[in-house]
Structure 1
């Protein structure tokens, strides 16, 4: 079953690309942009990651942390983050437990892991689920939701 708008962010832990423990519950009180992507160093995934990087300051200004998740190893994530100067958290999901927990589907042909972005508000509630194999549009959609949160809070 896939997570949908209005669902609560599931509790999960993982190891980030720096080898540190990540606990989803430690981010309650902060907005999250969690994006699942197929693979480090592929063209669309790299464009997407670099677009998140290029807009990272705006995400931070809007009170959100960005988290990228793929099945690549932490070693692969370290190289990917270093090469492209990615300032946000990358989590390894090599056992695909997180992908299953969120209900992220594969692409239409079932061959490639899906590309889905979730925006989670400060209360841990999912406010956006965006599923598209096109990379860059995820950033625009996430920023739009966060900007609306910001205007509503004022």
Structure 2
């Protein structure tokens, strides 16, 4: 996980609509950049739906929300459609952003060890500095916890 106070690594990736996004596109706004393992899985769906439902509250506070996983653009589009998601989801199949933000780690699941995305949420300020980093994310609570921290 990247340290609070460091500059957020720049990124360039396409979203669920095939539109290109860069970190610099969010300059002047706060940005929640959250990383999750896989579209259409129970925890990831709860997290995404909560961010989508709470998006108006984030926008009131001047905060944009962007999710990132290594799933394809087509998978993200289906995920968006299945749950009527209202925010940007970036596709990072080659893990450039995932690795730059230090969220590709060894994970244990039912005793099996494998590499994967560790659910992590960053809050980046208007100048591109990480002001909050959490890698102990509970999927269903992430959006409400972030709203509390912004109050």
**TM-score normalised by length of structure 2:** 0.90
Alignment of 1:142-153 (within 5 A): 142-147=146-151
The answer to whether the aligner puts 1:137 opposite 2:141 as a matched pair is yes
Q: When the two structures are aligned, how many residues end up with a matched partner?
A: 146
CA deviation string 1:101-153 (max 9, x = no partner):
00114364253421000011112111111112520222133212322xxxxxx
State how far apart, in whole Å, the 1-side matches of 2:106 and 2:37 are: 10
User: Measured at CA, do residues 107 and 116 of structure 1 come closer, stay the same or move farther in structure 2, by a change above 3 Å?
Assistant: farther
User: Measured at CA, do residues 33 and 25 of structure 1 come closer, stay the same or move farther in structure 2, by a change above 3 Å?
Assistant: same
Alignment of 1:48-87 (within 5 A): 48-87=47-86
State how far apart, in whole Å, the 2-side matches of 1:40 and 1:119 are: 21
Alignment of 1:113-132 (within 5 A): 113-132=117-136
Unaligned segments of structure 1, at least 5 residues: 148-154
Aligned twin of 1:93: 92
Unaligned segments of structure 2, at least 5 residues: none
State how far apart, in whole Å, the 2-side matches of 1:107 and 1:114 are: 8
Helix, strand or coil for the counterpart of 1:136? helix
State how far apart, in whole Å, the 1-side matches of 2:98 and 2:80 are: 21
Relative to total residues, which structure has the larger strand share, 1 or 2? 2
State how far apart, in whole Å, the 2-side matches of 1:96 and 1:87 are: 23
State how far apart, in whole Å, the 2-side matches of 1:79 and 1:92 are: 13
State how far apart, in whole Å, the 2-side matches of 1:10 and 1:95 are: 16
RMSD: 1.4
Aligned twin of 1:15: 14
State how far apart, in whole Å, the 2-side matches of 1:104 and 1:144 are: 23
State how far apart, in whole Å, the 2-side matches of 1:108 and 1:25 are: 31
